[in-house]
Amino acid sequence: MDAVALGPIGQISRSVTDIEAAEAWYRDVLGLRHLYTFGSLSFFDCDGVRLFLSAGDGPVHDESILYFRVPDVVAARAALGERGVVFTHEPHVIHTHEDGTQEWMAFFTDVEGRPLALMAQRRPD
């Protein structure tokens, strides 16, 4: 069997109930660059990874949490909070590596109440 080397993730799909509301929220509130919309499908650029939102007829489930890397989780939380983003968990340390680097996260919900997160690393001085 030949070895397969997978590359970076190219696209993440998430179902939504209202494509117009979701498109506006991801574009206007989160500030993601909207690539295009085709019918009930909307695509955004997340620094080289494409986010694919699709409107479905059935119920939307918490199929995944999207984690957005930011340089400063506290500053990003403040900026998104000013745009009306509802945070469920404030920025906090989730892990400290042996070299002292800290992993920080802050959790919030999208327009349909599903979880998303900010993530950042802080290196020791």
Span 41-86, pLDDT tens digits? 999 999 999 999 998 765 666 567 888 999 999 999 999 999 999 9
Rounded Cα gap, residues 11 and 109, in angstroms? 20
Average pLDDT, the chain: 88
The vertex-71 CA angle with 67 and 73, nearest 5°, equals 65
Distance CA 74, CA 87 (A): 12
CB 78 within 8 A of CB 30: no
Dist CA 82 CA 78 (whole Å): 6
What percent of the chain is modeled with pLDDT above 70? 90
CATH of domain 65-125: 3.10.180.10
**Res. 120: pLDDT tops 60:** yes
- The pTM (predicted TM-score) of the whole model is 0.78
Residue of 49, 45, 56, 46 lying closest to 14 (CA atoms)? 56
pLDDT given at position 57: 63
Domain with CATH 3.10.180.10 in the chain: 9-59, 65-125
In CATH, the architecture of 9-59 is Roll (3.10)
The continuous run of DSSP H or E covering 76 comes out as helix 73-82
